[in-house]
Amino acid sequence: MANHKSSLKRIRQDEKRRLHNRYYGKTMRNAVRKLRATTVKEEAVAMLPKVTKLLDKLAKVNIIHKNKANNLKSKLALHINKLG
C-alpha cells in the first residue's frame, strides 16, 4: 500500500479515470456493434455521424488511438456503402 499522500491521491485518480475510460470504451463498442447490425441503409446513414463524432472525441482524449478511430470509421463507411 502507498505511504505518501500524493501516491494515495494518484491511486484514487487512476481508478476514477479507469472507470470513466471503460464506460466510454464500452459505449463506443456498443455503438459500432449497433451500426454494423443495422441492415436498413437509411438508418445506418443516420447513425454514422453520431458514431463518427463519438470515435473522434475518444481519439482526441486518447481513450482510443487516432488510427483505430480512423480504421473503424472507414470500415463502417464501407459497410454502409455495401447495404442495398
Within the chain, which residues score under 50 in pLDDT? none
Query: What's the CA dihedral at 72, 63, 25, 37 to 10 degrees?
Result: -10
Which CATH number covers residue 40? 1.20.58.110
Cell numbers representing residue 43 in the block: 438508418
pTM, to two decimals = 0.86
Residue-level pLDDT at 84: 78
Please state the domain count of the chain: 1
Cell numbers representing residue 74 in the block: 472507414
Residue-level pLDDT at 1: 74
Structural domain harbouring 58: 5-82
Strand ranges inside 1-84, DSSP E:
none
Query: What's the CA dihedral at 29, 53, 41, 67 to 10 degrees?
Result: -60
Distance, in Å, from the CA atom of 52 to the CA atom of 69, rounded to the nearest integer, reads: 8
